[in-house]
């Protein structure tokens, strides 16, 4: 069982490495969105500092959303997905491996870049570790929830916009607790409660989303 | 009875716009929904009758008749 | 299913009269039942609405603190209740459909969705019109209004997904999954929005009604809530009927129904 998990994980990471330009595009998108905000709201440091947690989190959320279509589309097109579903291995396992590979190639780079980018918005330096931790806990939830939406919209016309409509409302709690954690840390009230809730959310999503995603993939390839 | 006159009733103590705006739009939306449901029914019956004629299921034996758009 | 009962009359005949209520899970039995029940529910809805409006405008007294604006509450609260309740019912039918593999359950949940979205919109609209004179703004990021807005988006997502997928079998199941995922998330969303709301703007803004709500006010609200129940049942049954015809169009009983309908129009 573990070997399936590792095999799918390694395969997806290898594919991502071959198509690393896509990964770079996601990261570039994240950086550019964040850098757009000062042009829109003005470069006044206090204002930028106030909106920094929200801006960083919304940008991370959009970057995740825009790369979600990559999660299953390729495997759906070349029939790999059907083969995987026909195999005797439990679907939850390799679905989880695929989501993990997806997060490692899109979520993790965002987590790594965000603290540096936060300095552009003049976010308080003491809040940088919390920003990284909140993103590290929150972006996997986005990937897990998003995977369900991506599985449901496979091969559907207008799939991209549909995916956004389906899952953006579900992202709201993650956004609230993620950006809230950074804000709470910056304002000195402590981020522990937010981070614990994010952790709880991650545990819940880990338990439920792969099952829903596997069911959705079965429906979509039927 | 709450109201001294009809004009007092429509005025709602100055809040007429908000109260009647709420009730008006609510019933307009409900009416719209009913119209859409009715239309959908008519449209479905018409389309299915056409479809049955096209596939020759209406008993007239015109199997293979061209599908009307 | 393709070979329906030999007797093509759509009235229940001896071959379909089963021992239990379960026989109504069969589309050819449910279709005429829905057609017979819907007008009754519609009539109940009309009567209750008139009674509720009479209570709302002629019996309930003017509120001491809010004046007459509060009369918006009489539709706002039932609409908000209804929008949440319908989503739960949708999720319920979706779960039944996935577990028991009954096609009618999926059709029910899809027929409910537009009405749920409609009530959601009504709750938002009346909330805004109530908020302007009461809070001084049409829109406040109040926890309840915000959750209501997100619920509307969930409805839109469900409707858009089920309409975008051509294959009805796949559309049914995909819609059921997203309805269940949404239902699991609704409490999470509500809790998180509430948490966010209390952090960002104290308790000064809340939808709590006047503490001394007169019994007549509550009665009006309740009557209108029942009216919206009856309305939902009626309009959903009406919406289900053409959906059933569409899906069962290959069967003989639908042929019989269509021939009768065709004669009429």
Query: In this predicted model, what pLDDT tens digit does every residue of C128-139 receive, in sequence order?
Result: 888 888 888 888
Q: Residue C250 has which token pair?
A: 């290959």
Picking from C150, C170, C196, the nearest residue to A219 by CB comes out as: C170
Q: Which residues in chain A come in under a pLDDT of 70?
A: none
List chain A residues with CB under 8 Å of C196: 176, 180
Is C232:C82 a contact under the CB 8 Å cutoff?
Answer: yes
CA distance C173 to chain B (A): 23
- Prediction ipTM score: 0.89
C157/A208 Cβ within 8 A: no
Q: What is the pLDDT of residues A94-153, one digit of tens each?
A: 999 999 999 999 999 999 999 999 998 888 888 899 999 999 999 999 999 999 999 999
Give the nearest chain C residue to B37 (CA atoms). C239
The residue ranges of every structural domain in chain A are: 2-221
From the CA atom positions of chain A, what is the Rg in Å? Answer: 18
Measured in degrees and rounded to the nearest 5, phi and psi for residue C211 equal -60, -35
**Residue-wise DSSP of A153-217:** TTT-TTHHHHHHHHHHHHHHHHHHHHHHHHHHHHTTS-SHHHHHHHHHHHHHHHHHHHHHHHHHH
Q: Which of residues 84-103 of C touch A (CB under 8 A)?
A: 98
Q: How far is CA B57 from each of CA B16, B67, C202, C259, rounded to the nearest angstrom?
A: 57, 13, 67, 11
Picking from B22, B30, B49, the nearest residue to C72 by CB comes out as: B22
- Residue C243's pLDDT is 93
Q: What is the pLDDT of residues C189-246, one digit of tens each?
A: 888 888 887 765 543 334 454 445 677 888 888 999 999 999 999 999 999 999 999 8
List chain C residues with CB under 8 Å of A177: 192, 195
Give dist(CA A177, CA A198) in Å, integer.
6
């Amino acid at each position: 069982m573990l070997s399936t998990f590792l095999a799918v994980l390694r395969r997806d990471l290898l594919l991502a490495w071959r198509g690393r330009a896509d990964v770079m595009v996601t990261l570039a998108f994240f950086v550019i969105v964040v850098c757009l905000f000062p042009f829109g709201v003005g470069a006044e440091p206090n204002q930028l500092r106030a909106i920094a947690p929200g801006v960083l989190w919304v940008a991370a959320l959009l970057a995740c959303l825009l790369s979600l279509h990559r999660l299953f589309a390729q495997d759906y097109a070349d029939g790999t997905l059907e083969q995987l579903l026909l195999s005797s291995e439990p679907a939850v396992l390799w679905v989880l491996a695929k989501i993990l590979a997806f997060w490692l190639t899109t979520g993790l780079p965002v987590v790594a870049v965000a603290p540096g980018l936060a300095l552009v918005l003049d976010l308080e330096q003491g809040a940088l570790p919390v920003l990284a931790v909140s993103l590290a806990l929150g972006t996997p939830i986005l990937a897990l929830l998003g995977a369900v939406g991506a599985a449901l919209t496979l091969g559907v016309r207008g799939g991209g916009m549909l995916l956004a409509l389906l899952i953006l409302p579900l992202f709201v709690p993650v956004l609230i607790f993620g950006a809230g954690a950074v804000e709470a840390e910056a304002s000195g009230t402590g981020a522990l409660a937010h981070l614990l809730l994010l952790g709880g959310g991650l545990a819940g999503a880990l338990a439920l989303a792969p099952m829903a995603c596997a069911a959705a993939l079965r429906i979509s390839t039927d | 009875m709450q109201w001294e006159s009809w004009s007092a009733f429509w005025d709602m103590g100055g809040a007429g716009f908000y109260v009647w705006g709420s009730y008006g739009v609510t019933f307009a939306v409900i009416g719209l929904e009913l119209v859409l449901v009715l239309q959908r029914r008519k449209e479905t019956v018409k389309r299915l009758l056409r479809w049955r004629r096209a596939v020759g299921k209406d008993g007239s034996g015109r199997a293979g008749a061209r599908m009307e758009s | 299913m393709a070979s329906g009962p030999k007797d093509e009359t759509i009235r229940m005949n001896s071959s379909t009269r089963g021992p239990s209520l379960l026989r109504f899970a069969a589309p050819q039995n449910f279709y005429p039942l829905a057609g017979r029940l819907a007008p009754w529910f519609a009539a109940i809805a009309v009567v209750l609405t008139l009674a509720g409006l009479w209570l709302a405008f002629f019996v309930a007294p003017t509120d001491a603190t809010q004046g007459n604006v509060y009369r918006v509450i009489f539709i706002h609260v039932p609409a908000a209740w209804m929008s949440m309740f319908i989503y739960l019912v949708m999720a319920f039918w979706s779960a039944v459909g996935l577990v028991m593999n009954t096609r009618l359950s999926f059709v029910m949940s899809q027929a409910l969705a537009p009405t749920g979205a409609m009530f959601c919109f009504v709750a938002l609209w009346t909330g805004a019109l109530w908020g302007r004179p009461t809070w001084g703004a049409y829109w406040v990021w109040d926890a309840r209004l915000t959750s209501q807005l997100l619920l509307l988006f969930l409805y839109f997502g469900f409707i858009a997904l089920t309409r975008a997928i051509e294959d009805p079998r796949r559309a049914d199941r995909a819609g059921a999954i997203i309805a269940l995922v949404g239902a699991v998330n609704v409490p999470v969303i509500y809790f998180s929005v509430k948490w966010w709301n209390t952090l960002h703007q104290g308790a000064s803004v809340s939808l709590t009604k006047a503490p001394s709500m007169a019994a007549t006010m509550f009665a009006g609200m309740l009557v209108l809530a029942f009216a919206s129940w009856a309305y939902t049942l009626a309009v959903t049954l009406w919406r289900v009927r053409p959906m059933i015809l569409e899906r069962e169009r290959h069967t003989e009983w639908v042929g019989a129904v269509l021939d009768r309908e065709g004669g009429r129009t």
